[in-house]
Amino acid sequence: MKSLVTGAAGFIGSHLVEKLLGAGHDVVGIDCFLDNYPRHFKEHNLANFERHPKFRFVNEDLTKTDLKALLLDVGYVFHLAGQPGVRSSWGSEFSRYTENNLSATQLLLEAAKDLKLEKFVYASTSSVYGDTADLPMREDGLTRPVSPYGATKLAAEHLCHLYSQAYGVPTVALRFFTVYGPRQRPDMFFHIFMRALLAGAAVPLYDDGEQTRDFTFCSDIVDGLYNAAHYPRHGEVFNLGGGSQVSLLTAIAMAEKIAGVKANLQRFDRQRGDVRHTSARLDLARDKLNYHPRVGLEEGLKQEWQWLKSIS
């Protein structure tokens, strides 16, 4: 079977490509190396499989490439590419989010509508829920994003549902909750935090640290993506979380213990678009996707720490 992975050189995309290749898939990966983090990180990710005989890499922008040709003979589409980041999605940057999160998704769905795909799996985010006290967050709960990033990701979810209903595109949308682990993007907290520990530098801490997150290890997310591709129905949405709600200060203490270094925290006010708490209800994903997160936070942080030390 042939699969397309968009954002293949990224954090989650590169892990997914490895899983698909290990399962015997022919994989086409596309990535346009956005400037949201240094290119050498993505090139390092690609180095793990770029010479694999069943892998082909396309260095192009989804909004400017021939998508019909890209989808030729493809059975599974894993659409992970997009413009990430809550805090940077305001103001003049918003056009990048509408282009890379919304327009790119619509163009890919449009190209896919006349094909006989097995599944079109869309990577969404817990940011679609916004800052809610209705915890744990459930798929049929209120979605009211508090950032432009979350708004574009939710709009793309709606597009997936529309193309599923109107054209039978077999879409499944997955809402990721705070993914971490080896190859994590350098703009994400644990990457920033651990690199600062290695360098003896100060670490920015926004809000009071008592905010909580449902941290999810990258291999669990990849398992959820893979299982969703083999789910027999379409047009549905599922949460993928780690299964626990942990405060940022607790996670920081855990990472300090692993590193054997005390962090120099510099406190700042809460940022626009940040939510206070996230927690995923996983009943639907467990029942329908056989999704069972296996990697706890301490073990996952150990793996990320070892990876960061290996590339520093």
Q: Taking the domains of the chain in order of start, what are their residue ranges?
A: 2-177+218-241+275-294
Residue 200 pLDDT exceeds 90: yes
Catalytic residue among 37, 97, 122, 149: 149
Residue 57 pLDDT exceeds 90: yes
How far is the C-alpha of 10 from the C-alpha of 185, rounded, in Å? Answer: 8
Cα 198–18–69 angle (5° rounding)? 120
Q: What is the pLDDT of residue 171?
A: 98
Residue 54 pLDDT exceeds 90: yes
* 277 strand-pairing partners: 212
The four Cα atoms 215, 47, 81, 169 give a dihedral, to 10 degrees, of -100
How far is the C-alpha of 233 from the C-alpha of 100, rounded, in Å? Answer: 27
Q: What is the pLDDT of residue 35?
A: 80
Residue 85 pLDDT exceeds 90: no
* SS3 call for 217: strand
User: Which tops the pLDDT comparison, 161 or 38?
Assistant: 161
Q: What is the pLDDT of residue 153?
A: 98
Percentage above 70 pLDDT, the chain: 100
Q: What is the pLDDT of residue 205?
A: 93
Going by pLDDT thresholds of 50, 70 and 90, the confidence category of residue 273 is confident
Report the CATH architecture of 2-177+218-241+275-294: 3-Layer(aba) Sandwich (3.40)
* SS3 call for 30: strand
Mean pLDDT of the chain: 96
Burial of residue 178 (number of CB atoms within 10 Å: 0-12, 13-18, 19+): buried
- Tokens standing for 171? 């879409």
Going by pLDDT thresholds of 50, 70 and 90, the confidence category of residue 302 is very high
Is 129 catalytic? The answer is no
